[in-house]
């Protein structure tokens, strides 16, 4: 199939801060890297591998869930606050996480009393942080997520169970059903390849460059993507 190359370009004036979200294995970090290179923005990654509690959490979820979530909460808060100048980012920013998703994970993994403690700490931070000017939510089925997790071969992720992924995906669906803090582009990432296929990626760039107002769905037909 013939591909087209997407060169570097300026980020749309209305989009200073892009946050990319979605469940484990959906491709957030890979897309964030591409968009940051295309729009010539600073890249901010959550760097989950830097959380010393994460491998322990996958081995013993009940014991290490709270420590894992608090480490993520403090780390992401520091990273976002360090880049904030008034209400604007300079330079423009692309991140592979949305700060509010921390609470989404906490709801899945924490016991009730731990979640109440987490909530008290979370509320102290969330109102001090900036809101993205565009959120991109990547969706894919659990079998697809499992294949991608297996392919990237991160050791401690290989034991992730389908029940956990199902709960996580359900939490994402509910969260973004009610989300209205920023323009939202919902991307069906099941059959498209935004990393290796230039045509697919170019279609996404066109959606972003048009400007997203409110909520928009990016789900091009199979024929449009050249997948038939």
CA distance 146 to 34: 23
Catalytic: which of 87, 96, 181, 196?
Answer: 96
Backbone angles phi, psi at 35, to 5 degrees: -65, -40
CA distance 140 to 144: 6
CA distance 103 to 114: 12
The yes-or-no answer on residue 96 being catalytic is yes
Strands (DSSP E) along the chain, which ranges?
17-21, 42-44, 84-85, 88-89, 93-95, 134-139, 184-188, 215-218
Active site residues: 96
């Amino acid at each position: 199939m013939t591909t087209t190359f997407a060169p570097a370009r300026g980020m749309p004036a209305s989009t200073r801060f892009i946050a990319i979200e979605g469940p484990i294995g959906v491709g957030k970090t890979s897309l964030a890297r591409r968009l940051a290179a295309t729009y010539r923005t600073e890249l901010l990654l959550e760097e989950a591998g830097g959380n010393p509690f994460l491998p322990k959490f996958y081995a013993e979820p009940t014991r290490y869930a709270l420590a894992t979530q608090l480490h993520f909460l403090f780390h992401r808060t520091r990273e976002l606050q360090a880049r904030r100048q008034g209400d604007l980012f300079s330079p423009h920013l692309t991140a592979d996480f949305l700060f509010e998703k921390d609470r989404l994970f906490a709801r899945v993994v924490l016991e009730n009393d731990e979640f109440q403690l987490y909530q008290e700490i979370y509320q102290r931070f969330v109102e001090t942080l900036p809101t993205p000017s565009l959120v991109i939510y990547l969706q894919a089925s659990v079998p697809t997520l499992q294949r991608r997790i297996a392919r990237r071969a991160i050791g401690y992720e290989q034991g992730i169970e389908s029940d956990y992924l199902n709960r996580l995906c359900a939490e994402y669906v509910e969260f973004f059903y009610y989300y209205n803090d920023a323009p939202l582009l919902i991307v069906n990432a099941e059959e498209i390849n935004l990393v290796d296929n230039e045509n697919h990626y170019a279609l996404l760039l066109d959606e972003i460059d048009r400007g997203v107002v409110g909520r928009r769905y990016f789900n091009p037909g199979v024929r449009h993507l050249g997948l038939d």
